[in-house]
């Protein structure tokens, strides 16, 4: 039986998946207008994630993570833009659940500005084969410095289930993302 928190996470995951597939920022999919006013930037996108060493069944001390992706963003005034990003860091856990994340993400926006985010938290949940990670961090440099960053990543199954249990583990996956930067 799924409790109210599990149901909420499932609903949020489905909203993110649906809105990302439709190209609509998740904040606009059922969010109250006042919530949008307090958001400096709301983005959805897709990313390619590489782990080294690969993630296996057992909890590893840590794995290096390298990520490249693109966001489609909307600011508080409704203006849309695109940003590419690169993330480097470490994560703990196995291929079924990630237990923590320490990483730095550099966004390069279409207007030429950059934003650097440091993530220091990152638990995940697994529902119906979808692994959803929740990252919290702070903008440490560039545009929106000092703001809070919240990122949700839903990794999609990209390999056979046996890759998790045997061999070098999962080394590559793709994910749908939602980033919200708040002042």
CB atoms within 10 A of CB 80: 11
Q: Which two tokens stand for residue 177?
A: 């993302």
pLDDT tens digits, residue range 80-126? 999 999 999 998 877 777 677 899 999 999 999 999 999 987 778 87
| pLDDT confidence bin for 141, thresholds 50/70/90 | very high
142, exposed or middle or buried, with CB in 10 Å at 0-12, 13-18, 19+?
middle
Confidence of residue 20 (pLDDT cuts 50, 70, 90): very low
Residue 21 confidence class, pLDDT cut points 50, 70, 90: very low
Helix (H) / strand (E) element for 13: namely helix 4-22
pLDDT 10s digits, 38-52: 578 999 999 999 988
Instruction: Please give the sequence-ordered ranges of beta strands (E in DSSP) within the chain, or none if there are none.
Output: 41-55, 60-75, 80-93, 98-109, 114-121, 124-127, 130-142, 148-156, 170-182
- pTM of the model as a whole: 0.76
The β-bridge partners of 155 are: 131, 175
């Amino acid at each position: 039986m799924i409790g109210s928190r599990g149901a909420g996470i499932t609903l949020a995951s489905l909203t993110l998946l649906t809105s990302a597939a439709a190209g609509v920022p998740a904040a606009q999919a059922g969010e109250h207008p006042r919530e949008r006013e307090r958001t400096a930037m709301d983005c959805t996108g897709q990313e390619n994630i590489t782990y080294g060493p690969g993630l296996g069944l057992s909890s590893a001390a840590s794995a290096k993570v390298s990520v490249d992706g693109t966001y489609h963003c909307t600011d508080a005034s409704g203006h849309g833009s695109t940003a590419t990003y690169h993330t480097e860091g470490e994560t703990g856990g196995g291929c079924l659940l990630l237990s923590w994340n320490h990483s730095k993400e550099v966004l390069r926006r279409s207007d030429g500005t950059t934003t650097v985010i440091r993530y220091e938290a990152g638990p995940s949940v697994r529902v119906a084969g979808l692994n959803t990670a929740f990252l919290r961090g702070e903008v440490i440099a560039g545009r929106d410095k000092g703001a809070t960053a919240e990122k949700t990543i839903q990794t999609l199954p990209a390999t056979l289930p046996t890759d998790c249990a045997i061999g070098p583990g999962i080394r590559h996956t793709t994910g749908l993302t939602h980033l919200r930067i708040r002042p």
